[in-house]
Amino acid sequence: MSSILKSLKLLSDPTRIRILLLLAEEDLNVAELQEILGMGQSRISTQLLQLRQEELVTSSRSGKNNVYTISTSEVLLQVARQAATEIPEVSADLKTLKHILRKRRDTTRAYFDTLAGKFGKSYVPGRSWKSLAEAMLKVMNYKVVADLGAGEGTLSQLLAPRAEQVIAIDNSPKMVAFGTSLANENGLDNLEYRLGDLESPPIDDNSVDLAIFSQALHHAERPDRALAAAHKLLAPNGKIIILDLLQHSFDQARDLYADTWLGFSEVEIYQMMSEAGFNHIETTIVDKESEAPHFQTLLATAEK
């Protein structure tokens, strides 16, 4: 039988309370708790061990993972819930849990993730990611598109023939000048390059149908502000697409590529998009490079 005094002592730690309240909602494994709490595996495993020793949680094996289940008495759980009013992260934890559970249930997406991982490994004449992307661009139907952090504007130039107007934003005068020159040379009159910052792009509010961040968000000083700005410029029901690096530990990227952030986890992107006001948020990993440091590409979509 667990000690009441020891149990109360365990409840003095905010992380353990966060874990208990999450497990009160759903049985979870360590990897899922890592993703929600944004903490390392060793730290979470240590907390779970202490909770299990006092019989506040139990564990069972499911495939390769240990799944943890709450076994706390209702009295102690009520104490944890009262203490949670002093822990600001608890509200965000529960929102993120819903995202994790939606991903867990999405068996169809898991199947297509497997297919995506195989794509291109076997040679098929005429089949490539480039051809597939070109085909998808053909069916896009957006009047006004904003390419935020466009660089030289390769994506903007691909989008221009399929939209009424494309606005490419970059904070480098040289990039804007280069992109403008290319647009003029290729007769892309509906493609306009503008000098501006991701956190305050020079675009009217409620005027854009589609906003895109393609490997740009990790260069922003404040990605949360960049997403809030994108939400502001989108028209009602407008869409956002984010392609960025999954969180990694290749610190040299800061010097090699001028990266401000070492990518983002799916949970980080989800939380920032949710706080910016976006709805129907979906995230997935769409690519993993075969060569070190094995960068992975995160895709996130949502609507205003």
Two tokens, residue 97: 């849990």
Half-sphere exposure of 53 (CA within 13 A, CB side): 9
When pLDDT is cut at 50, 70 and 90, the band that residue 103 belongs to is confident
Domains of the chain, CATH where assigned:
4-87 (1.10.10.10), 108-303 (3.40.50.150)
Half-sphere exposure of 241 (CA within 13 A, CB side): 13
**Stronger pLDDT, 290 or 70, i.e. the higher one:** 70
When pLDDT is cut at 50, 70 and 90, the band that residue 273 belongs to is very high
Sign of the Cα pseudo-torsion (236, 242, 247, 251, in order): negative
When pLDDT is cut at 50, 70 and 90, the band that residue 106 belongs to is low
CA distances, 41 to each of 22, 31, 47, 59, 215 (Å): 16, 7, 10, 16, 28
- Between vectors from CA 189 to CA 184 and to CA 193, what angle results, nearest 5°? 70
pLDDT of residue 99: 83
Two tokens, residue 290: 């075969």
pLDDT in tens, 210-264: 999 999 999 999 999 999 999 999 999 999 999 999 999 999 999 999 999 999 9
Least confident of 65-69, 216-220, 227-231, 276-280: 65-69
Mean residue pLDDT of the chain comes to 88
Query: Is residue 287 pLDDT above 80, yes or no?
Result: yes
CA dist., res. 5 & res. 2, Å (int): 9
Burial status of residue 184 (CB atoms within 10 A of its CB: 0-12, 13-18, 19 or more):
exposed
CA dist., res. 50 & res. 250, Å (int): 33
pLDDT in tens, 126-182: 666 666 676 777 667 789 999 999 988 889 998 998 899 999 999 999 999 999 999
pLDDT of residue 154: 87
pLDDT of residue 279: 94
Contact 222, 274 (CB under 8 A): no
pLDDT of residue 21: 94
pLDDT of residue 86: 93
When pLDDT is cut at 50, 70 and 90, the band that residue 286 belongs to is confident
Closest by alpha carbon to 278, among 246, 244, 237? 237
pLDDT of residue 116: 58
Alpha helices in 73-196 (DSSP H): 74-83, 89-105, 107-118, 129-138, 154-159, 173-185
pLDDT in tens, 1-55: 467 788 888 889 999 999 999 999 999 999 999 989 988 899 999 999 999 999 9
Residue type, 289: E
Half-sphere exposure of 45 (CA within 13 A, CB side): 6
pLDDT of residue 107: 59
Query: Is residue 70 pLDDT above 60, yes or no?
Result: yes
CA dist., res. 266 & res. 273, Å (int): 11
Residues with Cβ < 8 Å from 60, sequence gap 6 or more?
Answer: 66, 67, 69
When pLDDT is cut at 50, 70 and 90, the band that residue 115 belongs to is low
- Percent of the chain residues past pLDDT 90, beyond the cut: 63
